Chain A
Amino acid sequence: MIRLVLTRRDDAPAWMALVSPLIAVALTLLSGAVMFALLGLDPLKALGVYFISPISDGWALQELAVKATPLILISVGLSLCYRSNNWNIGAEGQFVMGAIFGGWVAIATHGAANGPWVFPAMMLAGMLGGAALAMIPAILKTRLAVNEILTSLMLVYVAELLLDWLVRGPWRDPKGFNFPQSVMFDKDAQVMRLMADGRINLGTPIAIIVVVIAAIMMARTLKGFEIRLVGAAPRAARFAGFDEKRLTWTVFAISGALAGLAGIIEVSGTMGQLQPSVSPGYGFTAIIVAFLGRLNPIGCLIAAVVLAITFIGGENAQISLRLPLDVTRVFQGMLLFYVLACDAVLNYRITLVRTGGAAA
């Protein structure tokens, strides 16, 4: 019998943490080239469509910012959770719930005399919605010791089905020719566009401000220290007088609120209405972003841009190479796989142990 044994390297140098995601990206590109070759395409041309065209002109860059914004917002929140050993897998649902809560404000004020307060109110409602959904797994975890991975994941489907029901039922646009969608939001209920001729909107600067605040919080404040300590050494955190349960609530609430904020910005910024599906999987992709970004807010910003490229590249490839959109998922999956694999190989010594028949 042969057994695989992983032993932690204590001498792993710090630069490895930075090099590992770069190696992962390189391996993903390499595997992508092989995949394209097997599909009978010119690998270089295909990779060009995937990874170069999204950053080749001004319009594409704006589109990139629009796609990266929700990934940044969600992944920053998730990195706080993961740092403190709270495994929130349900950001997709919190994103949807944010869209529902924020969308409700837009629909309720539709056609009425309203003002510039509507969009801030939508953002607030969206954050509240995301946080409320995220608090369910947090409370179940701290009160009843229920595994938060399962509950947060399952609540994704609850949120998605709720949205589906709303836009087909009570919130359907009466003048919408029976399409399952809500009314178009009023002008006051839409995110401010930053450029007259582009799609980039106020969400991007908001995301960058969130990154800066989170980076300062993690590096300089006692709260950030608490998050890091609870995750790295829970018993030492208790000795330091930090309340693990309250922290679980805090990080779930923050990450839910950020996912909800991303949801309402996405809905009001790029769609202008609620539809049965409001996300191409941002909440799940953000998990990859958080790990690729080393659970560090600034790292998340960079990683979100990388993942946003795969989204846009996937759309471009669909048009010019006639590849199915699922190839994007394949790329994202490979990327996560290689990030985790590189971390394992660089941080652990892997040995094959042959166990003889006589061994106990």
Chain B
Amino acid sequence: MLPAPPLIQAKAIVKRFGALMANDHVDLSVAGREVHALLGENGAGKSTLVKMLYGLLQPTEGTLLWQGAPFSMRNPAEARQRGIGMVFQHFSLFDALTVAENVALALDGHEPVTTVSERLAEVSRAYGLPLEPGREVWRLSVGERQRIEIVRCLMQSPRLLILDEPTSVLTPQECEGLFATLERVKAEGCAVLYISHKLEEVRRICESATILRHGKVVGSCDPRQESAASLAEMMVGSKVAPARHDRLTVAGEVRLAVNGLSLPSPDPHGPSLRDVGLELRAGEVFGIAGVAGNGQDELFAALSGEMLAEAAGTIRIDGAAAGRLGINARRLMGGAFVPEERLGHATAPAFRLSDNALASGHATNSFVRRGMIDRSATRAWVDHVVKAFDVRKGPRDPEAKTLSGGNLQKFIVGREILRNPRLLIVSQPTWGVDAGAASLIRQALIDLSRSGAAVLVISQDLDELFEIADRMAVIFHGRLSAPLDTEGLRRETVGLLMGGAGFAADTVDEAA
């Protein structure tokens, strides 16, 4: 008897977007009941490939085989009919509707909400994914929202479940729950295609892996036989050095003191900051861990001065009350800020780099004389940043949107660090950035702190915080935990805090 053909197979798939070859003759084959990892850095072409497997994109060339027979899909509805389900990185849920209503909307049939709600409760029990069908989505945590998406797929009894970076929004404990669910899904006879760049979890739960780099397959392996270092090498194409990190010996004076900071979120469903306190000292890197949407954006806005605090004394920079000062006044006190969103917040996408240098530096650098912009000064500053931070670009002064994520982030971080700030507040410094740029940026943050500045890093990437932070605290529903020394700190401790354990009972209650 011939061996059974793989469940789904992609042969020499090519996908072009204009001049960009997002997928270059990619081969992939997933057997039934297999948990298969698709590994690669941001921009390696993983998302493009799975969007073709889910009918969202059409391949430019190549064939797709389903159990050995060629097929094509015009849209996701056809993929779902075939038994392919997908859980996206960014959920497509309506905040104001209930869990059951959201699921009913997504099902292709015309089932009444009451029967959907019953089936949903049944499936969620069977797979150990507790959900209340009648709850509005905005009340749910990110982990619970992901459960809705998974249950929604499972209700259509899929043969193949595709998960795009599912753990990037979960606490370590929630990840455990997800892995247990995947075991059960697999036991039911469903194959899983698991997209990730987190090597440890891939080694734990996947039995085969395909590795993409720059749109090409560069290898496939059994991740259980590989080390995290060897997988990383395949993914990145070279050895990645961890950031050089001397232990902090002496903490300096307090640069930033936050005391009793409470602030309502501008977003009606967003978490308000509640009684946040922290002390940031010269010479240290301080990390703020937490699952996305727990008040990180609000904290950044409050510290940067984009949102003003209610009392001036709740935020002090070098001892001076700064809570009611705008962002430029805080910059003049030695502050520098790097927001999470590269395009649209840190930079204006259609503006040249020199104009983007002007945007954040017009108060502190001498770019403006008697109201007139000194273009030669802004261009010279761009050259300086580009050289010091190895920003790769085509023309001398391109528009921000033409740079790759990593190069733009190097420019943004460089533009702030080269001003020699005494206080740097940065959110998600390496989110969606290639490994080379990420390690350069992390090193620059450490070097800045060791030169006597205070650095606050808000990040959802625990690995990153463990690598660079001297101390860290966890933000949960707008509250900040007590600071913890990174040395000797266990990930489980942080993970429990990220899930809300150890916070005042009312915090958790209001969340529930």
Across the interface, A233 reaches (CB within 8 A) one of B81, B327, B349, B371, namely B349
Nearest CB to that of A233 among chain B residues?
Answer: B348
- Cα of A359 to Cα of B344 in the assembled complex, Å: 33
- Cα of A256 to Cα of B346 in the assembled complex, Å: 33
Nearest CB to that of B341 among chain A residues?
Answer: A235
In the complex, identify which listed stretch (B136-144, B358-366, B403-411) lies at the interface while the others stay far away: B358-366
Nearest CB to that of B375 among chain A residues?
Answer: A220
**6 additional contacts, CB 8 Å, given A223-B371, A236-B344, A241-B328?**
A222-B362, A236-B346, A237-B348, A239-B345, A358-B75, A358-B81
A39 at interface by CB-CB < 8 Å: no
Specify which chain B residues have a CB less than 8 angstroms from the CB of A220 in the assembled complex: 372-373
- Cα of A232 to Cα of B350 in the assembled complex, Å: 8
Q: How large is the interface on A (under 10, 10 to 19, 20 to 34, 35 or more residues)?
A: 20 to 34
- Cα of A10 to Cα of B359 in the assembled complex, Å: 23
Instruction: Judge whether A225 and B326 touch: CB under 8 Å.
Output: no
Instruction: Judge whether B363 and A229 touch: CB under 8 Å.
Output: no
Nearest CB to that of B105 among chain A residues?
Answer: A360
- Cα of A117 to Cα of B18 in the assembled complex, Å: 64
Chain B stretch 338-358: residues in CB contact (< 8 A) with chain A: 339, 341, 344-351, 355-356, 358
A280 at interface by CB-CB < 8 Å: no
Specify which chain B residues have a CB less than 8 angstroms from the CB of A225 in the assembled complex: 355, 358-359, 362, 373
What residues of chain B have their CB less than 8 Å away from a CB belonging to chain A?
A: 18, 74-78, 81, 106, 108, 304-306, 326-328, 331, 337, 339, 341, 344-351, 355-356, 358-360, 362-363, 368, 371-373, 401
Across the interface, A222 reaches (CB within 8 A) one of B75, B108, B373, namely B373
Nearest CB to that of A232 among chain B residues?
Answer: B348
Specify which chain A residues have a CB less than 8 angstroms from the CB of B358 in the assembled complex: 222, 225
A11 at interface by CB-CB < 8 Å: yes
Instruction: Judge whether B360 and A359 touch: CB under 8 Å.
Output: no
Specify which chain B residues have a CB less than 8 angstroms from the CB of A245 in the assembled complex: none
Interchain residue pairs with CB less than 8 A apart (24) = A10-B401, A11-B18, A220-B372, A221-B372, A222-B371, A225-B355, A225-B373, A233-B344, A233-B345, A233-B350, A235-B345, A236-B344, A239-B359, A240-B359, A240-B362, A241-B305, A241-B326, A241-B328, A241-B362, A243-B326, A358-B75, A358-B78, A358-B81, A358-B108
**A229 and B371 contact, Cβ closer than 8 Å, known pairs A239-B339, A356-B75:** no
Q: Mark A1-12, 1 if CB is under 8 A from B, else 0.
A: 000000000110
Specify which chain B residues have a CB less than 8 angstroms from the CB of A229 in the assembled complex: 348, 351, 355, 359
- Cα of A11 to Cα of B363 in the assembled complex, Å: 33
- Cα of A336 to Cα of B501 in the assembled complex, Å: 61
A45 at interface by CB-CB < 8 Å: no
A238 at interface by CB-CB < 8 Å: yes
Nearest CB to that of B358 among chain A residues?
Answer: A225
Q: Mark A131-166, 1 if CB is under 8 A from B, else 0.
A: 000000000000000000000000000000000000
Specify which chain A residues have a CB less than 8 angstroms from the CB of B305 in the assembled complex: 241
Specify which chain A residues have a CB less than 8 angstroms from the CB of B306 in the assembled complex: 238-239
Nearest CB to that of A236 among chain B residues?
Answer: B348
Could you tell me the distance in whole angstroms from the C-beta of A92 to the nearest C-beta in chain B? 31
- Cα of A220 to Cα of B355 in the assembled complex, Å: 11
